[in-house]
Amino acid sequence: MQLILSNKNDAYVLTRAQILGIDSVVFSKIDLEHNNFVDDLLKRYKIDVIILAGFLLKVPQRLTEKYKGRILNIHPALLPSYGGKGMYGMNVHNAVISAGEKESGITIHIVDEKYDNGSIICQAKCKINHDDTPETLAEKIHSLEAEYFPVTIERFLDTIEIVEES
């Protein structure tokens, strides 16, 4: 891991990056959408693959095209259900519980130009009990994320081919 980027200056990942000696940079939505700030950082650090976790902004098309097939995201539901704009975190868990679903889970997928739309790499499920709340479901989902995301990232990195830019 070469660089941690966050659009939230209070994100815990920034503290972890500092402890681990990994460079980190906080950027704004404008930096991502309307100028080359993020693009320049990715180029300077020679970033080949982007892993998203807890990232709520839409990745601009210029980046999904440049990193086609090399941006991975984790989503706290079994896509294609409960995906799309505004479907993140507790919004997802509230919707799942309100709908009376019997199971939920996580989806790890390739990022493309649409929200929660790319090819699915991994899904893991958990049962929803009759007494589960959005909060208890969130705990189950966090456990699945911790179990499956690192392993899936490793497998993903082993299977992609990086082509050097000329």
- Specify the fold of 51-166: Rossmann fold (3.40.50)
First to last CA, the chain: 23
For 2, counting Cβ atoms within 10 Å of its Cβ (0-12 exposed, 13-18 middle, 19+ buried), the class is exposed
Beta strand segments in 32-138, E: 50-52, 71-75, 103-110, 120-127
| Known active-site residue 75 | yes
| pLDDT tens by residue, the chain, 166 residues | 889 999 999 999 999 999 999 999 999 999 999 888 999 999 999 999 999 998 888 999 999 999 999 999 999 999 999 999 899 999 999 999 999 999 999 999 999 999 999 999 999 999 999 999 999 999 999 999 999 999 999 999 999 876 665 4
For the chain, which residues make up each domain, given as ranges?
Answer: 1-47, 51-166
- CA-CA distance, 72 to 11, in Å (whole number)? 19
Q: Which of 75, 109, 130, 142 does the annotation list as catalytic? A: 75
